[in-house]
Amino acid sequence: MIIPELPAYLTSLGGEDYKGLIIALFTLSAGLSRPFSGKLADKVGRIPVMMFGAGVCFVVGLLYPLLSFVGGFLFLRFAHGFSAGFTPTGASAYVADIVPFQKRGEAMGIQSLFGSLGMAAGPAIGGWIASIWPIEILFYSAAFTAIFSILILMRLKETLKEKEPLKLSLFKLDRDEIIEKRVLLPSVILFLSVFSFGVVLTIIPDFSVHLGIKNKGLFFAVFTLSSLGIRLLAGRTSDRHGRVAVMRVASAVMVLAMCAVAFAESKAVLLASGVLFGAAVGMYSPTTTAWVVDRSLDRFRGRALATMYIFLESGIGVGAVVSGWLYANNPENFKLVFLSSGSIAFLGFLILIFIKRDRKSYHSHHQ
């Protein structure tokens, strides 16, 4: 809800030089909290981890209007990231627990479908609220929305079989508890794919204005809607034909999308490339999650998903910082920014071409 309005809000506080940090700080804390959320999801339970994330969302939303200076705002962006560091880890592990193996891709498709419905409706509703009321109302509305997820979570049944009580020693991480090596391959490819996502989040609001588009959230709405339609299909296709096959198509489409954005000179072309971008996101999102769960052991499922999210955050964060630095508030650099993110996506495509089909991980499950 708040993302499209944040660059302008930060500028109004006098922090226009820190635009790259709006996304970067959020993803940094999300990434740092992942190993903890993965471990806690495997030890204490999926639901407490989700509850904590929703709670952070609520509290931080209430604090934005109170800490309305540059340092305070950037501190809250960092704190806010803990919500993203906890809730999705718990939620993905919860879904993986309750779904049969042969429907895993489809289930991850449904989960990511609802995730992106939120991502789509959020900026649109947020932009609408901000156009009518002062920005404080927007922050309070965002906080209020988080209460609903807390209410739903209170009714759910925990899926973790052997729970441990929460104790301080659980917050001590051994080296092997930070990254789950079994899922490094899909995670690296995800990093290369979502680099462009960080670029889009950071640069598209300014690029939209540059092309004369009033609503900065329009591109986001288009790509999210486009990603909705394809998620279920991609998840199902990956159940049938393997994860790698779907990922190849996804990364190729991502390369196309970024090149199309780079050469966009009209609203129509920009929005058309938004459709391509959304299709790519909609394909790799559920497919990677299913691929990661395929390759992980049941008892380390939280850790495996946390590893995937660490690479996801880092890809988005690095993309945001690098693109902010390349762009440097100079419209002449738009093309350079989008073409360089396209080349990063192309790297992922090259790796996928050399990977053998991923069927063998399936058969081992059924024995």
DSSP per residue over 222-284, as a string?
Answer: HHHHHHHHHHHHHHHHHHHH-HHHHHHHHHHHHHHHHHHHHT--SHHHHHHHHHHHHHHHHHH
- To the nearest whole number, what is the mean pLDDT of the chain? 87
Give the pLDDT band (50/70/90) at residue 209: confident
Cα distances from 154 to residues 44, 80, 157, 161, 328, in angstroms, run 16, 22, 8, 18, 46
CA angle 239, 244, 250 (to 5 degrees): 95
pLDDT at residue 366 in the model:
39
Q: Nearest-CA neighbor of 211 among 334, 342, 126, 338?
A: 334
User: Looking at domain 3-156+176-366, which of 3.30.420.40, 3.40.50.300, 3.30.870.10, 1.20.1250.20 is its CATH number?
Assistant: 1.20.1250.20
Closest CA to 312 of 88, 78, 103, 50: 88
Output the pLDDT for position 358: 58
Q: Decide if 213 contacts 273 (C-beta within 8 A).
A: no
pLDDT at 27: 79
Neighbours of 141 (CB within 10 A): 17
Q: Contact at 8 Å (CB) between 197 and 315?
A: yes
Tokens describing residue 314: 């880092």
What pLDDT, on the 0 to 100 scale, is given for residue 262? Answer: 92
Give the residue extent of every domain in the chain: 3-156+176-366
Q: What percent of the chain has pLDDT over 90?
A: 42
| Residue given tokens 């992922």 in the structure block | 348
Cα dihedral across residues 289, 295, 301, 303: positive or negative: negative
Amino acid letter for position 25: L
pLDDT tops 90 at residue 54: yes
Contact predicate 138/126, CB 8 Å: yes
pLDDT band at 357 (very low <50, low <70, confident <90, very high): low
- Name the pLDDT band for 204 (thresholds 50, 70, 90): confident
> Residue 171 pLDDT > 60, yes or no?
yes
Q: What is the mean pLDDT of residues 137-154?
A: 91
SS3 165: coil
